[in-house]
Structure formats: C-alpha cells, structure tokens
Structure 1
C-alpha cells in the first residue's frame, strides 16, 4: 500500500469511528438536575368518612417541580400517622396508564384499617419510574366516626298531591 492509499484508509477509518460515536450517543441535551425531575407536590388531598373506612382522593400531578410536563409517573405512596405519631407507608398505588391517550386524573384510596374514635393524618407522595419522589402532599387529618345511616323508610312520609286546576 502506498503512502497516499494508507492515509486515505486511515482517514476513512477515523470518519467511520467518528460517525459511530456520534450516532451511538443517545443523549443530545444537557442533563437535568434531580430537583427539576421530581413530581410537583400534590396540594388537593382530601379525606372523607365512608361506611368501610376513610376515603382519600387527590388529583394526578401534571408537571415536574422544574415546570416540565410529567410523562413518567409510576406510583403513589400513601402515608398515614396517628394524631401524634410518625408517618408510615400504608399503600403503594401503581400508575399503569402512561402510554394511554386518556390518563386517569383522579385517584383514591380507601383506608379500611382504622378504628372509630381515632384521629389519623395522611399524606401522599408521587414517585416517577426513575425513583424521584415529590415533596409530601398537603396533610389531612380526620377522626373516624360512624357515618349517619340513611333515612329510615318507616318514617318516610309521602307528600300530599295537589289537584291540578
């Protein structure tokens, strides 16, 4: 091989290696700091008394704390504490609709493991599929009571019909 052909072969090899490296690199943007990849905090957590326990409801977070639109919500961690105790995770609700056109916007959880007369505090934490956790939601506190029964049919009085003119 002459000197010119050798240089040409070396140059072709360098071009191939450069192209392979450029195409092989998957990320072409700046890395995102973790604080911008965490889900926004849930601020609408609500609690209500149901016949079988305490019902929690909240809205799906739409954005990351950094402002971008959320696309990889994986689950919610439901946390509970007694009136003066420490929070403990009582449930993990998986989110499985990331690829659907219509995503679930409202979530709920029924805590059946509660006692009448006891006060409980709740928070919900959003978690991405990369493991980034939101700040805890607003705290709700509620005392478990027995819901009032529906009106008794035996005391129900039919209204008196009025004659038509």
Structure 2
C-alpha cells in the first residue's frame, strides 16, 4: 500500500524492505537521495505531499495529491556495485533538458536516468533543480513548454 510521506522515515513496509536489501553504503546514499527528493518536494510550490510506493520494485515518489509531476524512482544500478540512479519516465524530455542544463555536472543514462557513483559526492544544486523539474513536469507542461523553463532554477 502506498503512503503519502513528508517524514524522514520510510512508512511503507515494502519500501522499507527494499531499502534494507541494499548494501549498507548504497542504502546510505539512496536514503540521502530519498531525503533530497522529499525536501525538494516540500520546497517546491505546487508539488504537495509525495506518495511513496514501489514501482517496478524501486522506491518511487508520486505527486498523486496534485498531479504536478512525473514519477521519480531511485535504485541501485544492476551490475554496477557502486552505482545508483534517479529515474524519470523515459517518454518525457526531462533527461534531454537536464543534459542541456547540466552537461558536465551530472551523468546520464539514455533518456531515463541520472547516474551517481557512491564514491563521489552528489552535485546537490543541479540535482535539486532536476528533481523539481520532474516533480512539476505536468504542471509546467500545461502552463508552458518545457523549453521555456529549462533556464529557471527552483
């Protein structure tokens, strides 16, 4: 069962079990990424509370209350023990926009993910902006084209 969340603790037992299944180092990094997603949602106008659930077995964050954005998922990268990622819907232009804004600050996989290395710090400022763009994707799409907002920061 999905649970709306703004708290630091994982409320959904199924989501908590997935976090517990990660190796300790990746668990710490993924929980920090989760906290950044929740904080960004709380700090971004129009997003509202997020629903935390599992999609494809991955911790996922939905804007069900407002419908403002696309789902954001996080997970370890299979076959890469020190890698983890933030995923967005592959049929959006979000990763394309992220690449335009942050070509050298972030690493990408195709049109669906921002990749991270557990041995390196996360570039928080650009990442917060990318998360905010994902969490407001539908609201912005209704208001104006994505290209009109790629230069704005949260």
Q: Same fold (TM over 0.5)?
A: no
Answer 1 or 2: which has greater helix percent.
2
- Which of 1 and 2 has higher RCO (CA within 8 Å, sep 6+)? 1
Answer 1 or 2: which has greater strand percent.
1
With the length of structure 2 as denominator, give the TM-score of the two structures: 0.21
With the length of structure 1 as denominator, give the TM-score of the two structures: 0.20
> Rg larger in 1 or in 2?
1
